[in-house]
């Protein structure tokens, strides 16, 4: 029984867990090319800034646009970002039966976004990061089991 699952690249065994995986999601009647597009677009209040992210051709481009500090970040972004991620991840895993099965197939394993590029959503590469995305995936799995 695997008790720790690590992912990062979309080509990893569990690469579908990455927000960069190409699964369009629908939230409040709008379609986003990936969960990364949704997450990055929600950083902004202005519809034109959101649309600029939404129209990005790749999740990496969406991330670059979302990280562009020339755009005006939502005032309360730091306090809402975990819930925005929860919403994106739940949308993705509830809208695709194959993804839901993959997530449920991990049983009770810990899930870790393993990367030195990210010490908040990921583990920072050496385990010192918060691994918030991994934790939200586990939370989502438990909600989908219920």
- Binding residues for ligand LIKH6CAM, per CB under 6 A? 19-20, 36, 39, 63, 66-67, 113, 117-118, 121-122, 133
How near is the Cβ of 52 to ligand LIKH6CAM at its closest, in Å?
A: 15
Tokens 């999601």, located at residue = 25
Q: Which is nearer to ligand LIKH6CAM, 14 or 122 (CB)?
A: 122
Is 26 buried (19+), middle (13-18) or exposed (0-12) by CB count in 10 A? exposed
Helix (H) or strand (E) holding 43: none
Q: Which is nearer to ligand LIKH6CAM, 38 or 106 (CB)?
A: 38
How near is the Cβ of 49 to ligand LIKH6CAM at its closest, in Å?
A: 14
Helix (H) or strand (E) holding 112: strand 110-113
Q: Which is nearer to ligand LIKH6CAM, 1 or 23 (CB)?
A: 23
42 touches 32 (CB < 8 A): no
How near is the Cβ of 17 to ligand LIKH6CAM at its closest, in Å?
A: 9
Instruction: Read off the tokens for 39.
Output: 């997450």
Instruction: Read off the tokens for 34.
Output: 């990936």
């Amino acid at each position: 029984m695997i008790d720790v699952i690590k992912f990062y690249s979309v080509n990893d065994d569990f690469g579908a867990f990455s927000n960069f995986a190409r699964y369009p999601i629908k939230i409040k009647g709008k379609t986003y090319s990936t969960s990364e597009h949704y997450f990055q677009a929600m950083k902004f209040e202005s519809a034109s800034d959101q649309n600029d992210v939404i129209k990005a051709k790749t999740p990496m481009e969406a991330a670059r646009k979302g990280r562009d500090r020339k755009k005006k970040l939502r005032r309360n972004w730091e306090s809402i970002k975990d819930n925005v991620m929860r919403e994106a991840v739940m949308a993705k895993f509830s809208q695709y039966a194959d993804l839901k099965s993959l997530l449920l197939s991990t049983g009770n394993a810990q899930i870790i976004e393993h990367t030195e590029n990210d010490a908040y959503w990921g583990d920072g590469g050496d385990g010192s990061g918060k691994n918030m995305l991994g934790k939200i995936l586990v939370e989502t799995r438990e909600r989908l089991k219920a």
